[in-house]
Amino acid sequence: KRRIGVMTSGGDAPGMNGAVRAVVRTSIHMGCEAYAIYEGYDGLVQGGDMIKQMLWDDVRGFLSRGGTLIGTARCMAFMERPGRLKAAKNMILNGIDALVICGGDGSLTGADLFRDEWPGLLEELVSNGELKADDTQPYQHLNIVGLVGSIDNDMSGTDATIGCYSSLERICHAVDDVFDTAASHQRGFVIEVMGRHCGWLALMASIATGADFVFIPEKPPRAGWEDQMCGIVRTHRQRGKRRTIIIIAEGAHDVNLTKITPNQVKDLLTQRLRLDTRVTILGHTQRGGQACFYDRWLSTLQGVEAVNAVLEATPETVTPVITIRENKIERSDLMEAVRLTKSVSKAIEQKDFDKAMELRDAE
Ligand code: ADP
């Protein structure tokens, strides 16, 4: 029986459990055995009881649960070849030659590298006496399939990442709650949401809540934005709005890449407009909580597709990432998606904001 490993890695996201459940149950349905690798790449490097067979009932109740029940970690050891050698050895010891990895672009870059190095890692393990050549013989090809788990919706080539809609839902509820108190006291609120290089959560939340102003990394405000923002808020107040909501992505900055902080925005509203203004940093509440309908659906369909991709792979197949485009679950070239994702961050770092927006639009 083929053995398929499943792992969650990098930042946790609601829906990751749904993906694990779908991979486990589809593997079993297709006549394979499923193995959970606990704590991301740490589990693969450490081996032992960090790699456990999963039966049908072991993933019961996973679908709605937030976070990741098989754990995740940032693993320094896997960044270096000796760590990946240990990981390869543990794969062989457990008879696993296919991995479905649900994580962000970092995790998927690591996965692609692992596959690239694969037969070489086995040869090294044989030549240094850690494994016998015969034992590695059946495992010459490593199948890797990526699933994108990230609340930021920051991966190119897919319309949505697993977790982003659950997070957005929580942000909208949090902003609604703040709205009530803001309107009661006629206050202003500056709300910081997650997103270091990607303003998707901030932008979508601001549309969905009717915020007055939004700051996102891809399109920083022009010089003189302080006057523009205060002018807009003043106009809204004159029209009878009793509260002011400004949403700011954690990676927001101006055109010179100088960080714009929530307190800076608050001080502007307080000093120039005499608005009683508070800062709310939503922090990790954005990550937690139940997966929303969309993430349960997406993670299930993509988990099934990931196992299909494993079973249909040939040695020539490029490493796929499972995406969704125009509501269709698809397989895309993993490294191409990672490359495009990184080019947005690079454009921002080079202050080429038109290019950053162009790349986002092209997605
Ligand atoms: P995310 O997957 O959410 O982007 P990280 O960038 O922290 O999160 O990556 C998660 C883990 O993936 C890292 O701790 C490391 O173990 C592995 N990883 C990331 N980048 C690489 C890389 N270039 N080579 C090998 N492993 C990597």
User: Nearest Cα to 158, choosing from 325, 327, 357?
Assistant: 325
10 lines ligand 1 (CB under 6 A): yes
What's the 79 CA to ligand 1 centre distance in angstroms?
7
Is 10 part of any known ligand binding site?
A: no
Contact call for residues 99 and 3 (beta carbons, < 8 A): no
pLDDT, average across residues 291-300: 97
Q: Mean pLDDT throughout 47-54?
A: 98
User: Nearest C-alpha to atom 7 of ligand 1 is from which residue?
Assistant: 10
CA nearest to 278, candidates 187, 176, 214, 194: 187
Q: Is the CB of 107 under 6 A from ligand 1?
A: yes
Residue 177: what residue type?
A: D
Pairing status of strand 51-54 against strand 33-37: antiparallel
CB of 79 closer than 6 angstroms to any ligand 1 atom: yes
**How far apart are the CA of 76 and the centre of ligand 1, in A?**
8
Mean pLDDT, residues 156-182 taken together: 93
Please give the Cα distance from 258 to 344 (Å, whole number): 18
ipTM confidence score: 0.97
Rounded to 5 degrees, what angle do the CA atoms 7, 251, 253 make?
Answer: 160
The residue with greater pLDDT, 16 or 64, is 16
pLDDT for residue 191: 97
Judged against a pLDDT cut of 80, whether residue 363 lies above it is answered with: no
Tokens 């139940």 locate to 290
Give yes or no for residue 288 having a pLDDT over 80. Answer: no
Does the annotation count 152 as an active-site position?
yes
Lowest mean pLDDT among 252-256, 262-266, 356-360: 356-360
For residue 67, CA distances in Å to 9, 54, 111, 129, 277 come to 11, 18, 21, 40, 32
Tell me the pLDDT of the chain averaged across its residues: 95
For residues 29-35, give the mean pLDDT.
98
pLDDT, one tens digit per residue, over 340-360 is 999 999 999 999 999 998 888
User: pLDDT tens across 126-143, in order?
Assistant: 999 999 999 999 999 999
Ligand 1 close to Cβ of residue 146 (< 6 A): no
Distance between CA atoms of residues 27 and 202, nearest Å:
37
Q: Of 214, 216, 208, 213, which Cα lies nearest the Cα of 176?
A: 208
pLDDT at 186 over 90: no
> Among the atoms of ligand 1, which is closest to the Cα of residue 77?
16
Active-site residue, selected from the candidate residues 12, 42, 97, 152: 152
